Amino acid sequence: MTGGPIHPRLSRSSDPWMGREQKSRRRVPSGTLCYLCGKPIRQHDSWNRDHLPPAAFFGSALKRVFAFNLPWLYTHQSCNSAYRGDEEYTIAALAGHAQSATGNAVMDDLRSAFRQGHKHGLLRMIVSAFGKLTGPRGEATFALNRTRVERIAWKLARGIYYRELGLVLPESRPGHPPCQDS
Ligand SMILES: [Zn+2]
C-alpha cells in the first residue's frame, strides 16, 4: 500500500501535492475537499488525515512488524471526529470475533488501553452485548449495533469511492438516514 494524500483525478505518482505535503504537513492544497461533507477545506480550518482504512483496524503489533503506510484523505477535523465513537465501537465489537492475527493485535491494543484506564465505557458496552444464550459449540450470542457498524462500512465505501473517482458520496443512503454517535 502507498501512503500519502490522495488527490482525486491525479495518479498518485504524479500528484504534485505529495512532496509539498511532506515539506509542509499542515498546508492544505488549494481546492481540497473534505470527502465526508464535500465542502472545501480552507487554510484556517482545522483538518486532519483520515486513513483508509483506519489505522486502528490493524493493531500496534502488526503495524510494528509491517510498518505499512496507509493512504489517507483530507477531512475537516469536526467531520472526522463525528465518526470517532462509531469507529471505536465497530473496531472493538468486531475484533474479538475476527480470530486472526489482525483481530488479536487490535484486542491487545484494547486490553492495553483498558489497563491504562481508557475505553472502560466502550468495553463494558461490548461485554454487555454478549447474551446468556449459548449455541451448541458454546458460542455466545452477541447483539451487534448494526446501525453503527453500517455507518462505518459506508464511510469506508465513500472513502474508496472518493479516492478512485474524486466524487463525494452523501452520508445518507435511501432508507438509511444519517445517525449521530450514540
Ligand atoms: Zn467536512
Query: Any idea where the domains of the chain sit in the sequence?
Result: 8-82
* Cα 152 to ligand 1 centre (Å): 16
Which residues fall within 8 angstroms of residue 90, CB to CB, at 6 or more apart? 148, 149, 152
| CA of 28 relative to ligand 1 center, distance in Å | 13
pLDDT single digits (tens) 68-98: 888 999 999 999 999 999 999 999 888 888 8
Alpha helices in 42-116 (DSSP H): 60-66, 77-81, 84-98, 101-115
Q: How much is the pTM?
A: 0.76
Q: Rounded to whole angstroms, how far apart are CA atoms 15 and 133?
A: 54
For ligand 1, a single-atom ion, which residues have Cβ within 5 Å? 34, 36-37, 76, 79
**C-alpha cell of 164?**
478512485
From the CA of 170, how far away is ligand 1's center (Å)?
Answer: 11
- The CA 43 to ligand 1 mean position distance, Å, reads 13
Q: How far apart are CA 5 and CA 2, in angstroms?
A: 10
In this predicted model, what pLDDT tens digit does every residue of 88-144 receive, in sequence order?
Answer: 999 988 888 888 888 899 989 988 988 898 888 888 888 888 877 777 877 778 888
More confident residue, 177 or 174: 174
Q: How far is CA 85 from CA 15, 80, 82, 137, in A?
A: 32, 10, 7, 32
Indicate whether 176 pLDDT > 70: no
C-alpha 168 – ligand 1 centre gap (Å): 11
